[in-house]
Structure formats: C-alpha cells, structure tokens
Amino acid sequence: MSTVEERRRPDLFEGRLKLNAMALPSHTTFVRMVEGDETSWSEKDAFEAEIDFADRAALLDLVNLAARTPGLRRKDIGARYQVEAESRFAETYRLARVLRRGARKFSFENEEIRVRARVKRDVVNDIDSAFFAATPNSTALSRLMLEGGSRWYTMQDGVTVPSNGPAGAAFLNKYPTSSGDPDKVMRAAAFAGWVLAPIHSGKSLEEIADLVQRYTRLK
C-alpha cells in the first residue's frame, strides 16, 4: 500500500518494493492495496493482484490469494537472484565492518570534508557518496536506503533482479546505533546498497571509494 509521499513520488514505493522482494522469501506473494482513483502500477507482474479497499469482495479475494500456490518459475527465478544478492550483501557488510574498526574519533578539522558535508552529496571515484556531519536520523537513512535500493536492484518482468553496479559510500562522523543491536543500521544500509564508512579512518575518501568499487559488485 502506497503512503501519501509514495503517491507523490512513485520511485520511493518502487524502492521499497524492490527491497522487500529481496528481503522476503522468493515464494512471497505481493498484493497491492489501492484506494479509489490510484493508478495501476507500471510493473503489473510485480503483484499477484491489485485490490481496491472499496471493493466488498476484497477480503474474500485476499483469502483466495493466500491459499494459492505461487508459480514455480517465479519462485525459481527469485531464489536464484536472492542467492546472488545475499552473497553481495555479505561482502558489502564485511567491508563496512572492517572500515568501522578503523574509525577514529576526530572532529571536522579537514576543510575538504567540511565542504563535502555541507553539500551532502557528491561522487568520489565514480562512487555515489553521501556525507553526514552529524549522526544521520532515521528519515535521512530511510531516504538514502530507498534510493540505494532503486540503484542496486531492478525489475524484469515483475521479478526483482540485482544490478551489477557498486554500492554507494555514506561517510559518517558518528555511527547511528539501534538498541540491543549496534550493527542493525549498518546491515540494513549494506543490504540497500550503501557502505557506512567513517570519515576518519586513516584512509582517504578516494581509497575507501576504490575498496567499495572492488568488493561490492556481483561476483
């Protein structure tokens, strides 16, 4: 179901759909719930059905869909791409953890980094890069991850497929954490095509970008 913002910006909804398709089991059935005058989704094969809330038979339709067995071809294709995506995620997450171990506690004494942080977005050695002077909040991270999902995954005949480009690099002065699971945000970012990297790690931004190029593509 699209949020109000996703109706204004369908790319956000598409990014969320792609990430869900890769995160959930390959036999998952997706149903789009619509309200009134919402337009049909362009990738129609991505959904088993589109059901209008106003339709009195909506609940019965959902029950019938839940009882239906997904097509074998769709499951087989989805499972194959998920294996590729999981392998790439593992390498991306591993790189993010290695870089974090090299993090040092510094302030923004480097003028180049201060300028980049004010601009917030740039490209470093052909790698999409984001810069955060402060700990990024959940809204900023969500937007970043949806954008990365759209860059890292594509759709072919309704099936989400991992694309072969490298991850982006999100340079941080301080890492966000999640209660009880310090690395949760780092894992989520890696799955959505971003390496969370410390601005101060003993490596230059260009060196980090080169590592991202080398380790985060499909093998």
Q: What ranges do the domains of the chain cover?
A: 4-72, 82-215
- Is residue 122 a contact partner of residue 114, using CB atoms and an 8 Å limit? no
> Is pLDDT above 90 for 4?
no
pLDDT score at 70 = 63
User: How does pLDDT run across 99-147, given as a tens digit for each residue?
Assistant: 999 887 655 555 556 656 555 888 999 999 998 877 888 888 888 998 8
- CA-nearest of 193, 199, 200, 201 to 92 is 193
Residue 45's pLDDT band, with cuts at 50, 70 and 90, is confident
Give me the residue label for tokens 């109706």: 7
Q: What is the mean pLDDT of the chain?
A: 84
Classify burial at 179, counting beta carbons within 10 Å of its beta carbon; exposed 0-12, middle 13-18, buried 19 or more: exposed
Euclidean distance between the first and the last CA atom of the chain, given in angstroms as a whole number: 34
Cα–Cα separations (whole angstroms), residue 126 to 41, 118, 189: 32, 20, 19
**What amino acid is encoded at 140 in this protein?**
A
Cα–Cα separations (whole angstroms), residue 49 to 45, 72, 86, 152, 211: 9, 17, 28, 25, 42
pLDDT score at 152 = 92
Cα–Cα separations (whole angstroms), residue 68 to 2, 6, 29, 65, 82: 24, 29, 9, 5, 22
50-61 as b/e: b if 16+ CB within 10 A: ebbeeeeeeeee
Residue 93's pLDDT band, with cuts at 50, 70 and 90, is very high
Instruction: Report the half-sphere exposure of 207 (CA within 13 A, side-chain side).
Output: 8
> Is pLDDT above 80 for 157?
no
pLDDT score at 115 = 55
> Is pLDDT above 80 for 56?
no
pLDDT score at 58 = 76
Classify burial at 62, counting beta carbons within 10 Å of its beta carbon; exposed 0-12, middle 13-18, buried 19 or more: middle
pLDDT average, residue stretch 75-93: 86
pLDDT score at 188 = 94
- CA-nearest of 132, 129, 108, 103 to 206 is 129
CB atoms within 10 A of CB 213: 16
User: How does pLDDT run across 19-42, given as a tens digit for each residue?
Assistant: 998 888 877 888 888 887 777 777
pLDDT average, residue stretch 168-195: 91
